[in-house]
Structure 1
């Protein structure tokens, strides 16, 4: 059977399994196993387990569960609530200020947790009910949180950037720096659209009834300032981690381990989480997400190995490379591919499967691999707020089940267009990505 036909059958089988609700890792693993046995024979069973475990037997992967543990310690504590209250103090009275402050809280919490679902859940639990109570449309309330949550996979430290760095053998520290400015740019675009949407809807600049606000303003300010003081130690820890990475003081795994220990300790001390229950919850959440991601990585590596063994990867890469088109047309084709893949697969799976295939093509077309990492990540961010998988959409629906899913989708769509605009801006101004890494690391 020729590689093209084999590739169509393998990908079709994968989509069928995912469509009937098979977990991503098991779908990837089972399709890979059947394809290898049919193509190479039963002898492949000997190497399946070895390849599966070897794919994650790298010290660099230690950074993933450690950063996840750090994010779980932050997400399971009231840090998101305190961030929300602090930013609402400064921005809540401007038109659309509460929604804008929620996006700001998402940006900061993304740096603390490194996880899009955790960011959307932590900020959304406080922000969505409060915005609806103050008269914001359901679409604006749901959309700004869903979009703000996607920043978790772009703003450093980011688990997906770690996976990209390992898959493509690029510097994780440089990837973290490369994601900082585009992350802030996207946050700015989100805030701009939120301001426009709120003005179109009439503006929302009265966060509380005037009499109540006048009576409680001192108490509110003091409470919000205390909340800000509680958040500051976590921000200092994240800043220290990034400094250690950028300065070459520690490897990503070492920095992640130190960050996890410090954030867990701060969550216990600052929020008095001395009981066994909260600590058990943190460990359970971190273990669950770590195992899920590591299983997806291992299964995706097996899937990539199967595609390579059947010469599917080489055929597709050769076909793309042989396209006699302008390099920007080639980049547009790649972006469409990544966008469609992000609709159906989680970011980690897309990166592990696609990045090694696309990297030689990107380098041959004279694109910067760190610039491409950011473009790829933004494409995958779009997939987090678009159906059919759209993880953040379902998180928002879980937080506010009485909001119609149609309103969640329509509220999130303009933010997806903001991400498309962000990709266009990066194509015209690649220095947004490359300037800071070149300045810091040369």
Structure 2
């Protein structure tokens, strides 16, 4: 049994590359993507930089007919091997999905460690997961990914274990035993994550009974979600020019125009070709997005692939079960990075669209208008009610201020009369716990 599995867990191939290792980033360009090749290479190089790798060179290879054994052609393999030697690289990162056979053959041909896009993203998530829940999710995703790659990872696993008794037969191979142990470990992780999901669901139910509206920040990684989150909440969530700077969800209370209390949720950034293992493993975390009252989609409008990134985010939202009718606002972020002419055009386009707010989370430009738009969306179904309270009913008055927008307050015939905008569900709740008010709708 492998040492990592003997301890009841799973260990990745540590030591094969480390921080400061020199790497080549390779994009097998099949001509079937809407993305700019240079932007895609830059993104993958950014992912590599996120775990401290030194990208020595970025290479785009035109692949007309992918080869089952190596993905790329023989001549391209030789060219890459030459570049590996010249750059003294110990790692080659393929911005594509590789089968276990392709990965093994490429490592042999290039004489270097080879990982694909999924492996790179999993490595980042493994390093960044800070909470117990995050580590469980990453371990589950990594086990799922590595289950089919044991032959490549551990050559000693091909030996057999003897059967029991005289008629036991040849027994099972070591790789079969370790695969069984991995399946058992994955089952335990899923049970633990189910418990996390139930606990999160109880917290969510309590919030809904409060009820305070929940706004979920979503967007492509490095679009500026955490920067905006910090500006709106005064929090100190890690916000660097770094892909996947934050993984674990963060919730904070904020006030909005006409809404005394709302919950803002910052979640993991999305990325193109997000590994299915991660989408499944992070389901518990992403449930905050599914149940949100409003989605705030933060877009890096200065990025050359901004439209493609938007499509990638919408794809992931569909995969995790977000209803198409869930209200959402697009926040076109990073206006400060646009050239004057492009900025003027972008502001004009945003002004024409009711679902868009242009802003800069870094400088604060447009943030106040964005908050006003969020409040308007959340209170779109609110109506105006006239409610009379006894002067000593401080609890009732506080409730109205907390759950609605008090438009007017005056005294009439010894009672305090409030004109307040409330959601219909809040008005119904108030009627249940207080004297029945008059409705002037």
TM over 0.5: no
TM-score by length of 2: 0.26
Rg larger in structure: 2
TM-score by length of 1: 0.26
Which structure has the highest helix share of the two? 1
Q: Which has the higher contact order (CA 8 A, sep 6+)?
A: 1
Which structure has the highest strand share of the two? 2
